[in-house]
């Protein structure tokens, strides 16, 4: 689920040789093509040479896409309410499964273009939709790797309550600020998304679960584990004293830290312990009881 510290992990993966991080592709269709929001490199989507070339290689140009059809297709399959059917083997002959294959064809063509242009053999898509992962499972099977990042639900709920301006938003953007959830809604979403990721792993998708708290406590060891799982066989990144230097990337959508370059340290954020009101803490704890213990919270 978003606000779990995954953006830093995504960006670190993008620093590995042979890896290319593209941000949250699930939002590219609207935020890139309709709203022309800024890429991680700072340029508007339509002006970013990387994404212009991806569009040409994948579709013959972004203007060749029937965008209303793409958005309709997305709404017709990539939604939480379709998860039970997407996770069911009985769905193979359903209309949802057929829509899912048409939908993921867009991603397949896009990933192939990114790989060709960047020279990468691993594409890192930081999309947080369990429904998208369920669709992609049907296309890629065991070729897909699922990195399941979890964080204490009370910390996640606190983060979702903050008012944060989206620096990538344009005048055309529907969302000028990052989405905000009540404590109760954040808790329900935490349960739904994490339970769905667990279900995907039980269906045979190679999955690695990483706790945010373990990552910030020992980033070098935990990231080494992540990199090995993702297929990196070379020397690990040095994440010790002084941190690591992030290069300019082309991630679309996500946490504002994707615009940050240069040296970055891995630091824990435990502000929720003092700032989250006790009643909200108790509410989140109660709603998430069935899964908290499973993840060690």
CB atoms within 10 A of CB 71: 14
Is residue 191 very low, low, confident or very high in pLDDT (cuts 50, 70, 90)? very high
Q: Find the CATH number of the domain harbouring 29.
A: 3.40.50
Contact assessment for residue 80 and residue 26, using Cβ atoms and an 8 Å cutoff: no
Number of domains in the chain: 1
Residue 13 is predicted with a pLDDT of 95
90 has a pLDDT exceeding 70: no
In-domain check, residue 1: no
Q: Please give the pLDDT value at position 243.
A: 67
Dump pLDDT digits (tens) for 11-31: 999 999 999 999 999 999 999
- Region of 69 (left: φ > 0; alpha: ψ -120 to 50; beta: rest) is alpha
Write down the pLDDT at residue 93.
Answer: 60
CB 279 within 8 A of CB 154: no
Which residue range forms the structural domain that includes residue 29? 6-295
Q: Could you give the percent of the chain with pLDDT greater than 90? A: 66
Task: Give me the mean pLDDT over the 137-156 stretch.
Answer: 94
Examine residue 91 and state whether it is found in any structural domain, yes or no: yes
Q: What is the pLDDT of residues 214-253, one digit of tens each?
A: 999 999 999 999 999 999 998 878 776 666 788 889 999 8
Query: Is 262 a residue whose pLDDT tops 90?
Result: no
Q: Does 111 fall in a domain?
A: yes
Mean pLDDT (the chain) is: 90
Residue 27 within any structural domain of the chain: yes
For the chain, the residue count is: 297
Q: Does 34 reside within a domain?
A: yes
More confident position, 239 or 275: 275
Name the band, by pLDDT with cuts 50, 70 and 90, for residue 37.
very high
């Amino acid at each position: 689920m978003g606000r779990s510290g995954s953006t830093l992990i995504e960006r670190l993966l993008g620093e590995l040789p042979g890896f290319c991080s593209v941000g949250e592709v699930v939002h590219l269709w609207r935020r890139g093509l309709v709203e022309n929001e800024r890429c991680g490199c700072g340029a508007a989507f339509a002006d970013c040479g990387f994404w212009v070339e991806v569009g040409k290689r994948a579709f013959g140009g972004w203007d060749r896409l029937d965008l209303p059809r793409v958005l309709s297709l997305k709404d017709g399959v990539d939604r939480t309410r379709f998860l039970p059917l997407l996770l069911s083997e009985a769905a193979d002959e359903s209309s949802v499964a057929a829509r899912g294959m048409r939908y993921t064809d867009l991603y397949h063509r896009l990933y192939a273009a990114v790989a060709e242009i960047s020279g990468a053999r691993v594409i890192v898509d930081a999309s947080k939709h369990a429904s998208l992962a369920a669709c992609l499972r049907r296309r890629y099977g065991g070729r897909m790797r699922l990195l399941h990042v979890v964080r204490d639900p009370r910390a996640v709920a606190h983060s979702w309550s903050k008012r944060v301006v989206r620096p990538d938003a344009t005048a055309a953007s529907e969302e000028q600020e990052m989405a905000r959830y009540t404590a109760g809604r954040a808790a329900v979403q935490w349960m739904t998304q994490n339970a769905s990721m667990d279900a995907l792993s039980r269906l045979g998708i190679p999955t690695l679960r990483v706790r945010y708290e373990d990552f910030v406590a020992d980033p070098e060891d935990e990231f080494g584990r992540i990199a090995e799982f993702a297929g990196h066989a070379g020397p690990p990144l040095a994440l010790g004293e002084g941190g690591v230097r992030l290069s300019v990337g082309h991630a679309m959508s996500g946490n504002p830290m994707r615009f940050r370059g240069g040296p970055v340290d891995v630091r824990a954020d435990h502000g929720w312990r003092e700032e989250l009101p006790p009643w909200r803490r108790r509410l989140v704890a109660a709603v998430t009881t069935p899964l908290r213990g499973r993840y060690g919270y």
